[in-house]
A and B are shown apart, each in its own frame.
Chain A
Amino acid sequence: NAGVTQTPKFRVLKTGQSMTLLCAQDMNHEYMYWYRQDPGMGLRLIHYSVGEGTTAKGEVPDGYNVSRLKKQNFLLGLESAAPSQTSVYFCASSLVGQGVYEQYFGPGTRLTVT
């Protein structure tokens, strides 16, 4: 099992450019999440999905869009990148419910917007 994978690992964008980050998981998890991590700020939830075809806003959704057309994939889009979106982006997935059901994280995408 590959677990959670993210594409690309690094990217440099110019202000105003767009891009899509791809997250894939092979564990048949229902829940998927996108976080950004900035120094001193911890992990902040951008958007999440509780199942195929459903998405919801997290703590910091502005400037991002997401889609979950297939259960195993969760895409994060930046329509018009801004320097404030320079960050490390982590995707995660988990099972559903009240049990332990910890999150499994991808390796991260380091994005720089100039």
Chain B
Amino acid sequence: GQNIDQPTEMTATEGAIVQINCTYQTSGFNGLFWYQQHAGEAPTFLSYNVLDGLEEKGRFSSFLSRSKGYSYLLLKELQMKDSASYLCAVRSVTGGSYIPTFGRGTSLIVHP
């Protein structure tokens, strides 16, 4: 089985930087995804890491350490619209199929 842990809730101030951590235990690791989900909406893709290191995309960056089973999503210059749930998903190879498993999500509240 897989075990994926994220903090349940975080709060931050507009304009600040916030780091959302995700730790995982899995066999057959084949990539880690971050998704954003606003209340009442579907998740949308933010980032993907399969090799160790940092991937940067504008205000969002994601980091992966496979040896430590650890990833983080870094959000810079926070805006009110960044208030959402952030989902970490680990893809593993199971019986030849590539299947993602999601953590419980981190609810981020950005206040003025």
Question: Contact residues of A with B, CB < 8 Å?
Answer: 31, 35, 40-45, 48, 50, 56, 58-59, 90, 96-98, 100-108
Q: Are B48 and A50 in contact (CB under 8 A)?
A: no
Residue of B nearest to A40 (CB): B104
Closest to B33 in A: A102
Is B44 in contact with chain A by the CB < 8 A criterion? yes
| In the complex, chain A residues whose CB is within 8 Å of the CB of B44 | 105
B104 x A42 contact (CB < 8 A): yes
A50 to B33, CA, bound (A): 19
- Contact flags (1/0) for B7-45 with A, using CB distance below 8 Å? 010000000000000000000001101010000011111
Q: Is the Cβ of A98 less than 8 Å from the Cβ of B98? A: yes
B interface with A by C-beta (< 8 Å) = 8, 30-31, 33, 35, 41-45, 48, 50, 87, 89, 97-105
- How many A-B pairs have beta carbons closer than 8 Å: the answer is 55
* Residue pair B97, A50 in contact (C-beta under 8 Å): yes
- Given the complex, which residues of B lie within 8 Å of A106, measured CB to CB? 42
Return the chain B residue nearest A95 by Cβ.
Answer: B98
A98-B98, A107-B42 as given contacts; A42 in contact with B103, CB under 8 Å = yes
| In contact, A45 and B98 (Cβ under 8 angstroms) | no
- Contact partner of B105 (CB less than 8 A), chosen from A42, A96, A103, A105, is A42
- The residues of B that contact A101 with a CB separation of less than 8 Å are 98
Which 8 A-B pairs rank lowest in CB-CB distance, beginning with the nearest? A42-B104, A105-B42, A102-B45, A43-B102, A100-B48, A42-B102, A42-B105, A50-B97
Chain B residue nearest to A50 (CB atoms) is B97
Taken together as a complex, chains A and B put the C-alpha atoms of A106 and B44 apart, in Å, by 10
The residue from A31, A35, A43, A102 contacting B48, defined by CB atoms under 8 A apart: A102
Known: A102-B48, A103-B45. A56 touches B97 (CB 8 A): yes
B104 CB contact (under 8 Å) in A41, A56, A104: A41
A66 to B54, CA, bound (A): 38
How near does chain A come to B51, taking the closest CB pair, in angstroms? 12
